[in-house]
Each structure stands twice: as C-alpha cells, then as structure tokens.
Amino acid sequence: MSNTTYNRGLFPKTRMRRNRKSPSLRGLVQESNLSTSSLIQPLFVMEGNKKSEPVDTMPGINRLSPDLILEEAKILSSLGISALAIFPAIEKSKKSLFCEEAHNPKGLIQQTIKLVKKYVPDLMLITDVALDPYTVHGHDGVLDQNGFIDNDETNKILTKQALSHAEAGADIVGPSDMMDGRILNLREAFEKNQFENTGIMAYSAKFASNYYGPFRSAIGTSQSSADIDKSSYQMDFHNSDEALHECALDLKEGADILLIKPGMPYLDIISKVKETFRVPTFAYQVSGEYSMHCLAIERKIFDKDAIIMESLTAFKRAGADAILTYFAKEAAQIIQKPGNSQYR
Ligand code: PBG
C-alpha cells in the first residue's frame, strides 16, 4: 500500500461508506467491469448432423454436431460474444497412437472451423492444440518406449495440427498441451507458411488440476481426473514462480496471449502474470468450476445471475483481459437483461 493511502484522513474525515451510498455513486467508483466482449464460450463438437448430446458432468452443456455449432455461433455472435473456443469429442475408431486424425484437413475440427468462419466470419475462433482427444490413452502427447510423454515427437504432431487449424481459418490457436518449446515450433511454422497473422494463445500456466474432470468426460478421454495423471507436463499447483517462468518463455517464443488455468483457485497467478508482463492475459474458468457453481445453483444455495456475475468479475479485478467460461452465453444474457443496469 502506498503512502498516499496511509496519508488520507482518519475517521471521521474518511468514511469509506460515503462512496457506497447509492447505486449510481457505486457505479462511479467501480474499478473493474465485465463486458460481453471479453467473454469466450467453449463449445464441444462431435460428428453428425442435427445431433446434440448432454454432457452428464456439466449441467446444461451439450456436445453439438457442426451444423448446430454454427447455429449456436450465430446466437453467441448476436449477443456480442467475441470468440468461441472449440474442443472436439473424437470417436474411438479415429483415435490412434500417433494421432493422425489431429491434422486431417477434413477432420471434425477443421470442418467445423471452415463452416463457422464461412457464415460468422467476425466471431473469433480459438482452437485447442493438444492431442488428448486423439490419443487412445487420453494424454496430451505421444508416449516413448518407457511410457513417458515424448516432448519433441509430440511437438512435431502439434505443429501439423496447428497448421491444419490455421489452414482451415482459425484466428487463434490455443496450445493447451504444456510441451516445452511448442510455441516456438508453432510460431516458426506459421511464419514459414504465410500464417504470420494467426495468433497463439498459449496455455502458459496450466496446472495439473482436479478441476478438469468434467471436461475430460465431455471429450471422452476419461471419467474423472483421478484416472489420468498429467503431472509430468502440467504444472504443480504448489508453485507460482514457475508459472512466471513458463509465461516468460512462451512470450519469448512468440505467444500473443497468455492463459492461466484453472481460474478461480488461481487468481493469485493471474494477478502476478498481469502485473509482471503487462500483456494480454486470459483466464479459463474450467469445467469443474462451472459444474460446482451449477450444482450449488440447482440446490438454491446461490442466486444464479448474481453468482455468475461475481465469479466472472473476480477475473477482471485480478487482471484478466478475457475469460473462457461455460457461462459466457448466460453472462451475456444477464448483462443485457433490462433492469440489470448494475452489471453494465
Ligand atoms: C487438454 C485440455 C483440458 C482442458 C482443456 N484442454 C483438460 C486436461 O488438461 O486434461 C480443460 C478445460 C476444462 O476443464 O474446462 N488439452
């Protein structure tokens, strides 16, 4: 705290409640604000036509076939949402040891990107660069003879995968795999192939977290986070200096945006990263955080609109510029609801 704060008058010269007297006064002194344009909606895509399948572990979330992703994209765009983050649920028969499907130009994700960019070009598309939907074991990379994730071999496949996303028209790729050196690999490949304007949102500080469990069942990699241990590549949740180190490396390698994940239990990391680097910093309110909130809302422990807005505004206060959240659509609707001027 700076001296200016201490030098202010004591009670009764200073009464903190004076600035809290009315909604409009509170509006004037409000320091952070959640706007629809900073929301990114993650969506799960699956094969088929007119198919929608509920994700058991995530109330209200469905896997959608590409045509329905397009319909949803139109709605989200008209609500003012800036971007989608799309994740594929890949059929078992297309999974393999070396993930050929990950860079198939006619693959599920590649086709979905083309379709959405054709009809909703202004909506930014962020893709997931990682192999977990495509490996038989659900890890984010390929295994060496000892069963260890092979960093450099994985990077080669990730680079092909990212190029196939860029070719299909992705605006930003999001490497969520946590291999070393992958940002450099991707950036060099993009420069070489005339994709110099394709962005990289690096999942720089991605912690090995139990909060990913519902996502893993959504994309069909496992039933719970206990089934699969990613701690040889994702970060140890005891650490924060290491998160800054990861971010520094990704920036040097050519990242445009840093992402911190999970979100709410990691607000300290978001805050430090923003303070340290002063670059675009995004947060991911992950599947477990979403489902936790939904269950408490269902049990009427929380008021839905109020808790969604509080949980998301906390990210802005911590310093996040944009937020990936499964509540994006609902938050946009809450912000726009007549009578909800306190949220605008
Ligand atoms: C994996 C990936 C994960 C998430 C996004 N990409 C899970 C994992 O690392 O196992 C989690 C997102 C969420 O929980 O909402 N590449």
Q: How far is the CA of 213 from the centre of ligand 1 (A)?
A: 8
Which residue CA neighbors atom 9 of ligand 1 most closely?
212
How far apart are the C-alpha atoms of 194 and 119, rounded to whole Å?
Answer: 23
With a 6 Å cutoff on the Cβ, whether 250 touches ligand 1 is no
* Sequence-ordered list of residues with C-beta below 8 angstroms from that of 303, at least 6 positions apart, any chain: 297
How far apart are the C-alpha atoms of 189 and 165, rounded to whole Å?
Answer: 12
Give, in order, the Cα–Cα distances in Å from 60 to each of 42, 43, 326.
13, 12, 9
* Sequence-ordered list of residues with C-beta below 8 angstroms from that of 292, at least 6 positions apart, any chain: none
Query: Can you tell me the mean pLDDT for 255-282?
Result: 98
Q: How far is the CA of 282 from the centre of ligand 1 (A)?
A: 15
Which residue's structure tokens are 């180190």? 245
pLDDT at 339: 82
How far apart are the C-alpha atoms of 246 and 178, rounded to whole Å?
Answer: 9
With a 6 Å cutoff on the Cβ, whether 287 touches ligand 1 is yes
Which among 318, 315, 233, 230 has a CA at the least distance from the CA of 35? 315
Tokens encoding 48: 């088929």
Residue 140's Cα: distance from chain center in Å? 16
**Least-confidence region, from 177-181, 232-236, 339-343:** 339-343
Task: Say whether pLDDT at 225 is over 70.
Answer: no
Q: What are the start-end ranges of the H helices in the chain? A: 3-7, 23-28, 66-78, 108-119, 151-168, 182-192, 213-218, 241-253, 267-277, 287-298, 304-318, 328-336
Q: At what angle are helices 108-119 and 151-168 packed, to 10 degrees?
A: 30
Query: Can you tell me the mean pLDDT for 86-115?
Result: 97
Q: How far is the CA of 219 from the centre of ligand 1 (A)?
A: 9
Q: Which of the four pLDDT bands, split at 50, 70 and 90, describes residue 1?
A: low
Which residue CA neighbors atom 11 of ligand 1 most closely?
212
53 DSSP β-pair partners: 63
The identity of residue 71, as a single letter, is: E
Q: What is the pLDDT of residues 189-220, one digit of tens each?
A: 999 999 999 999 999 999 999 999 999 989 98
> Which DSSP letter does residue 64 get?
E
- Give CATH superfamily name and number for 32-343: Aldolase class I (3.20.20.70)
Task: Say whether pLDDT at 61 is over 60.
Answer: yes
* Sequence-ordered list of residues with C-beta below 8 angstroms from that of 286, at least 6 positions apart, any chain: 209, 211, 212, 215, 261, 262, 263
The ranges assigned to domains in the chain are: 32-343
Which among 119, 114, 113, 123 has a CA at the least distance from the CA of 41? 123
Q: Which of the four pLDDT bands, split at 50, 70 and 90, describes residue 303?
A: very high
Query: Is residue 249 within 8 Å of 296, Cβ to Cβ?
Result: no
Q: Which of the four pLDDT bands, split at 50, 70 and 90, describes residue 2?
A: low
